[in-house]
Amino acid sequence: MKTRLVRGLVLFATLQLFSIGVAAPPNRFPDYGFQAPPGPSSLPNFVLSQNYPGTYPDLHKLPAFFSKLPMTVSNTDFAPWHDYMMAVRDYVFEGNLEVDWRVQENKVRRWYHMPWQHYGDTGRESIHGLTKEAPVEPGQFAASQGRPSPTENYQAYAIGFFNDFGGYTIGQVWKDRSAPSAGKAFLEGTVIAKLLFVDVPSEQVPSLVNPVQWMGYIRETYQRSARSVRPLNLIQMDVAIKDRRAPHLWFFGTFQYNGQLGNGAGWQNLVPVGIMWGNDPAITDSTYTNPTPTQTKINPNLKESAINPNPKELPPTHLGWNGRLNGPVDNPQSSCLSCHMTAEFPALSAMSPLFTTNPPPVGSQEWMRWFQNKRCGVAFDAPKAKTADFSLQLAISLQNFETYTLASGIYSSSAKPPPPTAMAPSEAAKAAKETEPTSNSQIIHPIVRDVLSSEPPK
């Protein structure tokens, strides 16, 4: 990768002038790309946690919740998985709730952000460092949930962070910040957590009663480019754990917010949806696919996803394709592992078969390429690409840097981008699916979390 980014040093120096409208300290990554106007929020500006550990972590000091892993990796009984996931949640919460998720101030353990998430029109905003994620389809969270207008969609925003095991690997990839080194794997003990928020009004979704709200400098709708400071509601938290006892070395789990539990407006309302360790590649039907849920449909034929069966705790949720694990914000035709195993540099395949120019039939051999069980550390398109070890955040950071160095420019609030224009849903989907050649004629796919399944009615 270094040979492809020979101009990086000069451009990275230039980059320091485009973070927040003033020169950033030398050798620091920009904190965000979109500066909120003064007034609507009194919160301090988001600060990227980027003092990555330079010392190899002690692998004998794995997170304490590792001892909670069920004796057998099986989905026959969710109870031990529930206990495990609550221990993971406590680990992520510890020290972060007290500092409102300013993770660099955590007094218990430090957490770290991925750099180069500020870049582009979906990049970090300045209040909480949130990046623009997926569109929200009508009925995705509840039958009563609709659109902000007849032709537009609500949207999701997110921020992720890594513990010290993961932070060490980020630091090694970006040790030379002008020429990152792709292809490195995360260490056992790495824990990744991601908070997801939506601008759907809480009164439209029963489980969003008593909401946890953050302010964000966000787009007015998924389709519009203009931004304003508005509240978002917590709906989901994703986790990923690197553990050699996982069949493919990663466990992926997700939590959903349920304000009906009687805990008031609190983070304790995040309850386990489930956990997965494989894609069940032999299951090719769509019997349990459930895009507009009124109940949670658990597929009893799956063996590599364990789903919370308690409807008194978990509100109706759509899960992933045919009941594989996915969170409420995620695509109901995908799964956590299906998306994340495509993380590579350069991105030679789309993150989902749905995002290809001509999507294959659901369940076909070509479709199932995205639902195989691939061991981490092997790129989805090896040997032409290098692994990002199931981390889409890492893949995006590398691709953003590459795009910047090739374009010799940056999109930020101080760079005076062109006037915002609304993109029709069909155009947005087309843009996400189309590919473009790089300087060495490889085909690069945009790494997008989701596209609209259909154009809203006129």
Q: Is 452 part of any domain?
A: no
DSSP SS3 for 281:
coil
Q: What is the mean pLDDT of residues 75-89?
A: 97
Q: Is 285 part of any domain?
A: yes
Query: Residue 2: phi, psi to the nearest 5?
Result: -60, -35
**Residue 132 in this model has a pLDDT that exceeds 90:** yes
In this prediction, residue 216 carries a pLDDT of: 97
Q: Is 456 part of any domain?
A: no
Q: Is 455 part of any domain?
A: no
**Residue 433 in this model has a pLDDT that exceeds 60:** no
Instruction: Provide the phi-psi class of 322: left if phi over 0, else alpha when psi is between -120 and 50, else beta.
Output: left
**Residue 454 in this model has a pLDDT that exceeds 70:** no
**Residue 9 in this model has a pLDDT that exceeds 60:** no
Which region among 133-142, 167-176, 248-257, 442-451 has the lowest average model confidence (pLDDT)? 442-451
In this prediction, residue 262 carries a pLDDT of: 81
In this prediction, residue 236 carries a pLDDT of: 98
Sorting pLDDT into bands at 50, 70 and 90, what band is 446? low
In this prediction, residue 20 carries a pLDDT of: 39
**Residue 93 in this model has a pLDDT that exceeds 50:** yes
In this prediction, residue 8 carries a pLDDT of: 40
Q: Is 458 part of any domain?
A: no
**Residue 210 in this model has a pLDDT that exceeds 90:** yes
Q: What is the mean pLDDT of residues 433-457?
A: 51
Who's near 346: CB < 8 A, 6+ residues apart?
385, 399, 402, 438, 442, 444
Counting residues of the chain whose pLDDT is more than 70, the rounded percentage is 83
Q: What is the mean pLDDT of residues 174-195?
A: 96
**Residue 76 in this model has a pLDDT that exceeds 60:** yes
Could you tell me whether strands 443-444 and 436-437 are parallel, antiparallel, or unpaired per DSSP bridges? Answer: antiparallel
Would you give the DSSP letter of residue 395? H
Which region among 21-25, 267-271, 353-357 has the lowest average model confidence (pLDDT)? 21-25
Q: Give me the DSSP letters along 66-117.
A: GGGS-SS--SS-SHHHHHHHHHHHHHHHTTTGGGTT-GGG-SS---BPPSS-
169-180 pLDDT tens trace = 999 999 999 899
Contact criterion met (CB below 8 Å) for 411 and 417: yes
**Residue 19 in this model has a pLDDT that exceeds 50:** no
In this prediction, residue 44 carries a pLDDT of: 87
In this prediction, residue 424 carries a pLDDT of: 35
Q: Is 159 part of any domain?
A: yes
Contact criterion met (CB below 8 Å) for 344 and 387: yes
Q: What is the mean pLDDT of residues 290-311?
A: 97
In this prediction, residue 59 carries a pLDDT of: 87
21-72 pLDDT tens trace = 334 566 899 999 999 998 766 788 999 999 999 999 998 899 999 999 999 9
Query: Residue 409: phi, psi to the nearest 5?
Result: -155, 170
Q: What is the mean pLDDT of residues 93-102?
A: 97
In this prediction, residue 347 carries a pLDDT of: 94
Contact criterion met (CB below 8 Å) for 231 and 130: no
Sorting pLDDT into bands at 50, 70 and 90, what band is 341? very high
In this prediction, residue 168 carries a pLDDT of: 98
Which region among 257-261, 371-375, 423-427 has the lowest average model confidence (pLDDT)? 423-427
CA distance 289 to 298: 10
In this prediction, residue 18 carries a pLDDT of: 41
In this prediction, residue 453 carries a pLDDT of: 63
Q: Is 449 part of any domain?
A: no
**Angle separating helix axes 392-407 and 164-173, nearest 10 degrees:** 20
**Residue 441 in this model has a pLDDT that exceeds 70:** no
Q: How many domains does the chain have?
A: 1
Full residue range of the structural domain in which residue 146 is found: 2-444
Q: Is 99 part of any domain?
A: yes
How does the average pLDDT of the chain come out, rounded?
87
DSSP SS3 for 34:
strand
Q: What is the mean pLDDT of residues 189-211?
A: 97
**Residue 439 in this model has a pLDDT that exceeds 60:** no
Q: What is the mean pLDDT of residues 374-381?
A: 92
Q: What is the mean pLDDT of residues 410-422?
A: 36
In this prediction, residue 363 carries a pLDDT of: 97
**Residue 11 in this model has a pLDDT that exceeds 90:** no
